[in-house]
Structures are given as C-alpha cells and as structure tokens.
Amino acid sequence: MPRLHDWLLATWYGDHRRGRWLLPLSWLFAAAVAGRRQCWRRGWLASYRSPRAVVVVGNLTVGGTGKTPFVIWLAGQLLARGWRVGIVGRGYRGAGGAARRVTGTSSVTDVGDEALLLARRLGVPVAVGHDRPAAVRLLEADCELIIADDGLQHYALQRDIEIAIVDGRRGLGNGRYLPAGPLREPGARLAQVDAVVVNGGGFAWPGALGMTLVPRALVALTDGRRLSPRAFAGRRVLGVAAIGHPAQYFRALRELGMEPSERPLPDHAAISAAVLEAEPDLPVLMTEKDAVKCPAAAATDAWYLEVEAQVTGDVTGLIARIEAAARRRCAGG
C-alpha cells in the first residue's frame, strides 16, 4: 500500500504524463459524479433541509487540506459572537451505522479521530455518521448553526454556505478526476462555492481567503504540560503523522528547528507501540489528531504540536454571510 500511495501522489502532483492509462476510469468517475449531482439538483434523490443554518466545509481533492483547523477557527469565530454552534462529521470506520453524539470522553474507535479532536478542543455539540442528515438532526435542538466538516460532496444534506479549502502547495494537482488525478469534483466547482480558502501559498484564486497554520505549543501526552514550539530546536525527534499530508507536518517540525526521523502513516491509522518505540532515545512528536488516539501512558516522552489557523482576507464578509443565513433559518426562512 505505501508504494501504491507514493506512486499515486507522484502521478497526481508530479509528472502529469504518468497514469494516462487510468484516464478511462477517470472519465467513468466524472460521469458518475455529474450524474449523481444532477439527480440531487433535480430532486430525483431526496435531500434534507435542516431548520438550522448549515455551513459545509470541504475540498475537491482527496487527502488533507487543513479542513479541521479551519473548522476549529470558524467555530471559534462564531462562538465568540454568541452563536450556539454544532459540528457534524462522517467519522471514520468506527463511526459507520447510526449517527451518534460525540463527547470528549468518547472512544476514538467509535467516533473517529477528527470528531474526538473537535469535541475536545471546542466543547460544542458534535455528531458523526455516514448518514449526514441524521447526524444534523441530533444537534438541531441544541444549536443555531451547524458546521459540516468534510461535506462538500454530501448532497443529501442541503446547505446554506459552502466553503472549499485548497492546499496551496498542491493546488488541484494534475486537474484530473480520480483515479488518474486527485479530484472528487471538477476544478470549476470552486466558482460555485461561497468562499475559497487557500492553506499556504502557491495556488491563486480570485477573492480567496488565505490560511496559515501557526504553531502554538508542544503539549505533553502524559500530563498536558506546554512548552514553546521551539523547545526541541536543534534536536533529533521521532516525527509521527497519520494524516492526509504528513510531509507538511514534517516540514513544520523542520521549520521549528527540529530534525525529525519521519514515520508517515496512512490517514487515520492507529499509532502502535512499535511506532512510538521505534527510536526510544528520541522524544516523539505527533499531530494533535494523532494524540487523541494515544493513551497518556503510551509513551513517556510523547508530545503533540498544537497549531492554530490564522485566516486573512475578507473574513468579515464571510462571517456576515454566515450570520445572515443563521438569522434567516432561525426566523423560519
């Protein structure tokens, strides 16, 4: 699997001449995507309209783009303005079947790492499930506004605001649909959403907001101690990342002056004791999403890097549009 994963990444984001033999499959995928969306738009497939405003945050490509840090930032902005905010996600593997509420003490195997991270960081109502409308219904009594994390392609849930996150370094790759490229929907879809947010530099889109992930602290898994993000500058560390774009995390560690021995893992993968103990003389540095999967006793010298999204551009305009949608829905509009 790692070799296939590496080959796909090289095909999608490297030499655009590679993988041409996959194009017929991409054409079939594109036709299926277009047909499915037309079915939703024409009402041939049922969709759910919540009495609460729904803000969908998603992306066009597979893999990590920074959706979860943006959702944390957006929820924080709305909470500071007095809104009762809830978050729904699809969960991962364990969150299949019936929709369920998530708390800070939920099992990561039941609800998924991202949902558990959101519940712990924000303390707001969170629900997960592959049936996104059912998850939304669980939160409606407690919330005035619901953010759907990674829901751009889930058309069974109607939405008031759509926000697309783009990895600035990777952009849209070779511009091809899966499997010859990374796209789940066409690049032209960016022109249809309410806001485009570019995580990092390199990708340009008219009127896009910019996002930067700023390191805030190193946090100990054992007792929650907080150190400066540069506390291990000049030292070798064991870098562990089971996220969509692990290279970005390892680059962040190097920018903080560390010398990571890299251990990339598939997105959402469990962090085994063998991984944590691969180089026992080194402190372990992982992402916050990975930390929720590791018990405090998993490693005595394990830390996660806490980051915070900083968003630039017309933030005021985006928040105003979301608040206007929430007021309309609360008024029955």
Q: Give the pLDDT confidence score for residue 270 in this predicted structure.
A: 85
d(CA 285, CA 232): 10
DSSP 218-247: EEETTT--EE-TTTTTTSEEEEEE-SS-HH
Task: Please determine, for residue 332, whether its predicted confidence score (pLDDT) is greater than 90.
Answer: no
Binned at pLDDT 50, 70 and 90, residue 1 comes out as low
pLDDT per residue as tens digits for the range 31-49: 999 999 999 989 999 999 9
Residues 263-306 have pLDDT tens digits of: 999 888 888 888 888 899 999 999 999 999 887 656 789 999 99
Quote the CA–CA distance of 306 and 292 in Å, as a whole number: 12
Does the pLDDT value for residue 97 go beyond 80?
A: no
pLDDT the model gives residue 245: 86
User: What integer pLDDT is reported at residue 308 of this predicted model?
Assistant: 96
| Mean pLDDT value across the chain | 93
* pLDDT tens, position by position, 194-245: 999 999 988 999 999 999 999 999 999 999 999 999 999 999 999 999 988 8
CA–CA separation, 289 vs 311, rounded Å? 20
* Contacts by residues 224-231 (CB-CB < 8 Å, ≥ 24 positions apart): 226/306, 227/303, 229/256, 229/305, 230/256, 230/257
Q: CA 70, CA 55: separation in Å to the nearest integer?
A: 12
Would you say residue 92 has pLDDT above 80? no
The alpha carbon of 51 is separated from its chain's Cα centroid by a whole number of angstroms, namely: 25
Domain coordinates of the chain in residue numbers? 2-84+144-207+313-330, 213-309
| pTM (2 d.p.) | 0.94
Angstrom distance (rounded) from CA 127 to CA 168: 29
Whether 98 shows a pLDDT value over 90: the answer reads no
Residue 67: pLDDT over 90: yes
* 138: number of Cβ within 10 Å: 22
% of the chain surpassing 70 pLDDT: 97
Coil vs helix vs strand at 126? strand
Q: How far apart are CA 323 and CA 230, in angstroms?
A: 38
